């Protein structure tokens, strides 16, 4: 098991295995997403209060989950990179940032599309929306910082510190805006007792959440592969793969 992780952390091995993995993950993602959308848009009954427009949550909620999941994952990866100096962890954190930011953006956009018929306004300064917006700022700050520093290793470490500072701040932001102002509906799935959402709506939601996770995995692997090639372009195995001509 440990040996596998050690091998996986080597860029070359990662490049090989991710190349084999991506088509499978991609196909699986496509399948679950079609299935989830079918369940959510066709099979699930309309909501007794919100009618048909609640269906946007099958995209909105998984996107919001992903936005937080990716940030946490980036924090873990950054910590791994800062402590053990594992290059691949940083490659993954780096490649995750843009995807995380786009999921956050998607959650904000779908949220405001849903908010217009429900609350009568595109944007309200509600706690969840506000903390999601700040999360987007944190992602953008990370991306800006990493792209402002030329040396990739330095950029990775600096970004890692920022992400870790941000992760301390996220619960604080979350609760501070929650106490400050709230309008968003309470949690319906992640409660300790029985979910208060009906099973016919919960199943498509969870299927979509899995589909989004798979999508993230496929895309992050693709991005990480490119990043690995770029960083290792002087190493023997990359030159072997592509010929020494374009490496200079």
- Determine if 146 is a binding residue for another protein (CB under 8 A): no
- Determine if 118 is a binding residue for another protein (CB under 8 A): no
CA-to-CA distance for 100 and 140, rounded, in angstroms?
Answer: 10
Q: Name the residue nearer to another protein (CB basis): 99 or 134.
A: 134
Among 68, 91, 107, 138, interactor with another protein by CB under 8 A: 138
Cβ-contact 225, 46 below 8 angstroms: no
Among 145, 206, 210, 222, interactor with another protein by CB under 8 A: 145
Cβ-contact 11, 87 below 8 angstroms: yes
Among 173, 183, 197, 206, interactor with another protein by CB under 8 A: 173
The interface region with another protein, picked from 45-53, 60-68, 98-106, 135-143 by CB under 8 A, is 135-143
> Exposed, middle or buried: residue 53 (CB in 10 Å: 0-12, 13-18, 19+)?
middle
Q: Name the residue nearer to another protein (CB basis): 157 or 231.
A: 157
Angle, CA of 118, 106 and 229, to the nearest 5°: 175
Among 137, 185, 187, 230, interactor with another protein by CB under 8 A: 137
- Please give the DSSP secondary-structure letter assigned to residue 50: T
Beta-bridged to residue 241, according to DSSP, are none
Least Å from the CB of residue 185 to another protein: 21
The interface region with another protein, picked from 44-52, 83-91, 94-102, 165-173 by CB under 8 A, is 165-173
Element (H, E) at 203: helix 199-231
- Determine if 180 is a binding residue for another protein (CB under 8 A): yes
- Determine if 144 is a binding residue for another protein (CB under 8 A): yes
- Determine if 222 is a binding residue for another protein (CB under 8 A): no
> Rounded to 10 degrees, what is the CA torsion of 76, 78, 79, 84?
120
- Please give the DSSP secondary-structure letter assigned to residue 55: G
- Determine if 108 is a binding residue for another protein (CB under 8 A): no
CA-to-CA distance for 52 and 50, rounded, in angstroms?
Answer: 6
Cβ-contact 74, 96 below 8 angstroms: yes
Q: Name the residue nearer to another protein (CB basis): 11 or 166.
A: 166
- Please list, residue by residue across 193-221, b when 16 or more beta carbons sit within 10 angstroms of its beta carbon and e when fewer do: eeeebeeebebbbebbbbbbbbbbbbbbb
- Determine if 161 is a binding residue for another protein (CB under 8 A): yes
Query: Between 82 and 101, how does the x/- string for binding to another protein read (CB under 8 A)?
Result: x-------------------
Interacting residues with another protein (CB under 8 A): 82, 134, 137-138, 140-141, 144-145, 148-149, 154, 157-158, 161-162, 164-166, 168-169, 172-173, 176-177, 179-180
């Amino acid at each position: 098991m440990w040996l596998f992780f050690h091998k996986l952390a080597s860029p070359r091995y990662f490049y090989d295995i991710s190349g084999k993995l991506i088509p499978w993950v991609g196909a699986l993602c496509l399948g679950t997403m079609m299935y989830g959308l079918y369940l959510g848009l066709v099979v699930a009954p309309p909501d007794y209060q919100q009618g048909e427009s609640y269906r946007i949550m099958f995209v909105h909620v998984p996107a919001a989950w992903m936005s937080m999941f990716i940030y946490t994952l980036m924090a873990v990866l950054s910590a791994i990179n800062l402590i053990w100096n594992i290059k691949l962890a940083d490659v993954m954190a780096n490649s995750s940032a843009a995807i995380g930011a786009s999921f956050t953006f998607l959650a904000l956009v779908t949220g405001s599309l849903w908010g217009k018929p429900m609350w009568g306004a595109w944007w309200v300064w509600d706690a969840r929306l506000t903390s999601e917006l700040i999360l987007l700022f944190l992602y953008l700050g990370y991306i800006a910082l990493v792209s402002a520093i030329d040396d990739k290793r330095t950029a990775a470490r600096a970004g890692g510190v920022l992400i870790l500072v941000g992760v301390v701040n996220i619960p604080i932001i979350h609760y501070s805006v929650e106490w400050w102002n709230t309008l968003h509906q309470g949690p319906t799935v992640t409660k300790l007792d029985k979910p208060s959402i009906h099973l016919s709506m919960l199943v498509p939601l969870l299927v979509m959440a899995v589909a989004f996770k798979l999508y993230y995995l496929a895309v992050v692997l693709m991005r990480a592969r490119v990043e690995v090639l770029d960083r290792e372009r002087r190493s023997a195995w990359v030159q072997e793969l592509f010929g020494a001509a374009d490496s200079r």
